[in-house]
Structure 1
Amino acid sequence: MGGGASAGGGRATRALRLLLLLVLALAAVEYLFGSILDASPLRTYLYTPLYNATQPTLRNAERTPASLKRFPPTEQNMNYADGYSEITIHNLTTNNHTDPNNVARKPIELNHTKTKSMEEVSSSVQNEPTPTSTLMTKLLDGVKNGTEAINKSDSATVTLPMCESASDLGPVPANTTDIELDEVEKKFPEVQWGGRYTPPNCTAKHKVAIIVPYRDRQQHLAIFLNHMHPFLMKQQIEYGIYIVEQKGTKQFNRAKLMNVGFMESQKLEPGGFACFIFHDIDLLPLDTRNLYSCTRQPRHMSASIDRFKFKLPYSAIFGGVSAMTLEQFQTVNGFSNKYWGWGGEDDDMYYRLLKKNYHIARYKMSIARYASLEHKKSTPNPKRYQLLSQKGKTFGRDGLSTLRYEIVQVMQYHLYTHILANIDERS
């Protein structure tokens, strides 16, 4: 009996030794040839990548915010084809937009923020102390080095498929109920800082800047963001929302603010935008088939508004929400800077487009539907008709080529980028 037990114990000991030798042999092979055996089970269990190697596209959350380059106006850069005149000041902080400390997620001031690169993030993770043994540390290093080499070689060739249009686009309701801005800031975690969104599983066909001129409409801003983000995400486009606020108490100049939004959004976005949608904050689209993109012709998007009984007020209207490509906007020298107060600037733009042989495109009225938010009507500009009568004479000398403004502050909130500008100098 004793001999049998002893023999059984010896066989068990030998089996354990063989198993241990097998594990050590596998570990040695993994260490020596880890860069080749990228699919081994041991690699799967010992190492988890810092990011998904199947989606190598660098997303905006991983990008360092672009620096804001400024230069004072000179005679040499007055021509908009060569450069744009502007002055930047950094000591103005007055802001009637919102208190950054009262939002759910504190914003990033781009002028004073440094974002860690992916290499810095990886380094900080690697340097954290762990109880791993020396042998296992070497094994992990070998495995990681091999995976990183493969990822580097593959990242240049692996691309996401093009986004397909959703099959369930159609009418959507507009929730115009009052909502607090900090409550909206807690929603839509898929939206990146600065109001930037990129479809996670495909490459967007359109990259669009939404430019919104703004002043004293904080309640409208909350409703607008709450409606627009799910609306735009449904369309599978890449976009950014830029709220351009006019500082001071001078008459509102919607057109000049849109020129500023065009300029600043191009500087903030690496590679720039190819499509720009100029959007009143009190209009909410009611049909996701109304695609927020640009075409070969400028598009008047808000053709059918509830306050006009969903009818086009007149054929030459181009206000509310309009879309233009980078080329179209630069060809017409942007908007006029001369329209202080309500009215006239959209008719001026319509004339500019016609002069450059563009025609206005529109969706059919059943698709181009918008709900309008109630607000006190602005005081009409008494000089708008006089300015419109002179539009043919000032067309080439009024717009991007004569744009002057001061950037007071640029802040990235969760759901939008806020640009505060001083545009009070009379153009």
Structure 2
Amino acid sequence: MGGRATRALRLLLLLVLALAAVEYLFGSILDASPLRTYLYTPLYNATQPTLRNVERLAANWPKKIPSNYIEDSEEYSIKNISLSNHTTRASVVHPPSSITETASKLDKNMTIQDGAFAMISPTPLLITKLMDSIKSYVTTEDGVKKAEAVVTLPLCDSMPPDLGPITLNKTELELEWVEKKFPEVEWGGRYSPPNCTARHRVAIIVPYRDRQQHLAIFLNHMHPFLMKQQIEYGIFIVEQEGNKDFNRAKLMNVGFVESQKLVAEGWQCFVFHDIDLLPLDTRNLYSCPRQPRHMSASIDKLHFKLPYEDIFGGVSAMTLEQFTRVNGFSNKYWGWGGEDDDMSYRLKKINYHIARYKMSIARYAMLDHKKSTPNPKRYQLLSQTSKTFQKDGLSTLEYELVQVVQYHLYTHILVNIDERS
């Protein structure tokens, strides 16, 4: 008899412990558990008014959308989630059907009878878990993935630290070797500072043909130079296909248009850059001021002297507004020379003036190259700039886009710009 009583007590004890375990596991989800009546002392006087579930929901719903989400129609988007070697935009999808159906059923069965729910209603904690499940799914090019936490970084310094003169390596380099360097750079030659939010978003537009050795030296020098300045940037190499005379200005128009297409947010600033010019001082900031900036004012092969006051060639920077207001570059300059002076005239016509850093900062080294044949029509074209610039430029740009390829350190835009007969 004593043995049976002992076994009964053990079974009763095991049952109580099992119920306590169930309460421990599920008590945080279910707002009201019958077991609490027997195992716990109430934390409040039962005669005092208590907050109903429906009132708690009203106080906490709708949940505030985090500031790192941007409203976009019925969905929300997260900016610039990096995936391996490329960047995509990610959008929060609608919740999985199982979550939606569960929430719908809960909503339909929430009826109040005599001041209490007929069934156990979802608590704010349950709603929070549902919302967290919804927010944790994003669509990407690679399918559904978990979204990483998006942290709002402080603005980068207006003048980054440790800027100053730098050295240049003109040694011949293999492009394949340079391509393996700089793991910080994203696919397509894009970069954003990891520890702060860049103040400037800059597209580097480089007209190009038959300069592969220069390209390797250029990329090897420019990426660490630009990263040091804590800007967000992308490098776009615009190559002219065919055998017609080189048209630097038209290629830069193409680079402007195509670079904007390749980036959803667009670029704020454009630096038009000869591939054989390399900056020698990181204080020469690759950003766009209120006035168009002539960057390469002081070149070694020109004895670090400005040839003439209105020069705007080599490397120049303009904002989106400045470039569109002057209708971009002329499309008519085939061969060397004239297109940069044409742009200088356009800027003056719109009442801009050319800004420059002091000569000790705006220093560049020029790589060795074969001189091009001057354009014999350049002076005739320059004499007509003030009359024709509104009808010659971005508004009349025609070209055939052959291909766009994103390499590790740059985006290659191959284009046919020959004019139709």
TM-score (norm 2): 0.69
* 2:155 aligned residue (162, 171, 174): 162
**Residue 247 (structure 2) pairs with residue 226 (structure 1):** no
The residue number in structure 2 matching 1:418 is 412
Q: Residue 228 of structure 1: CA displacement?
A: 0.6
**Residue 289 (structure 2) pairs with residue 295 (structure 1):** yes
The residue number in structure 2 matching 1:59 is 80
Give aligned-pair identity as a percent.
70
| Matching of residues 245-256 of structure 1 within 5 Å | 245-256=239-250
Change (3 A) 1:395 1:117: closer
**Residue 395 (structure 2) pairs with residue 401 (structure 1):** yes
Aligned amino acid, residue 163 of structure 1: C
SS at match of 1:258: helix
The residue number in structure 1 matching 2:386 is 392
TM-score (norm 1): 0.68
* 2:280 aligned residue (272, 276, 286): 286
Q: Residue 148 of structure 1: CA displacement?
A: 4.6
Q: Residue 174 of structure 1: CA displacement?
A: 1.2
The residue number in structure 2 matching 1:307 is 301
- 2 CA distance for matches of 1:385 and 1:423? 22
Q: Residue 201 of structure 1: CA displacement?
A: 2.1
- 1 CA distance for matches of 2:340 and 2:381? 12
SS at match of 1:244: strand
| Alpha-carbon displacement from aligned partner over 1:295-349 (angstroms, at most 9, x marks no partner) | 1100000001111111111111100000001111111111001000000000000
- 1 CA distance for matches of 2:258 and 2:327? 16
The residue number in structure 2 matching 1:191 is 185
- 2 CA distance for matches of 1:54 and 1:192? 26
**Contact preservation (8 Å) 1:30, 1:143:** no
Change (3 A) 1:426 1:366: farther
Indicate the structure whose relative CO is greater, using CA pairs within 8 Å and at least 6 residues apart.
Answer: 1
| Alpha-carbon displacement from aligned partner over 1:58-83 (angstroms, at most 9, x marks no partner) | 326349xxxxxxxxxxxxxxxxxxxx
| Matching of residues 172-187 of structure 1 within 5 Å | 172-187=166-181
SS at match of 1:59: strand
Q: Residue 397 of structure 1: CA displacement?
A: 1.3
- 2 CA distance for matches of 1:178 and 1:54? 48
Q: 5+ residue gaps in structure 2?
A: 1-12, 32-65, 70-77, 97-125, 138-146
**Contact preservation (8 Å) 2:238, 2:415:** yes
The residue number in structure 1 matching 2:62 is none
Higher fraction of strand: 2
Aligned amino acid, residue 227 of structure 1: H
**Residue 165 (structure 2) pairs with residue 171 (structure 1):** yes
SS at match of 1:225: helix
The residue number in structure 2 matching 1:272 is 266
| Alpha-carbon displacement from aligned partner over 1:149-175 (angstroms, at most 9, x marks no partner) | 6779x9999622111132211111111
Compare CA radii of gyration and give the structure with the larger one: 2
- 2 CA distance for matches of 1:206 and 1:224? 21
**Contact preservation (8 Å) 2:299, 2:366:** yes
**Contact preservation (8 Å) 1:61, 1:193:** no
- 1 CA distance for matches of 2:19 and 2:174? 65
Aligned amino acid, residue 80 of structure 2: R
The residue number in structure 2 matching 1:126 is none
Change (3 A) 1:60 1:376: farther
The residue number in structure 2 matching 1:217 is 211
SS at match of 1:58: strand
| Alpha-carbon displacement from aligned partner over 1:335-372 (angstroms, at most 9, x marks no partner) | 00100000000000000001110000000001001111
- Residue correspondences, number: 326
Q: 5+ residue gaps in structure 1?
A: 1-13, 34-52, 64-104, 109-113, 124-140
Aligned amino acid, residue 333 of structure 1: N
- 2 CA distance for matches of 1:246 and 1:210? 17
Q: CA RMSD in A?
A: 3.5
Aligned amino acid, residue 370 of structure 2: K
**Contact preservation (8 Å) 2:68, 2:150:** no
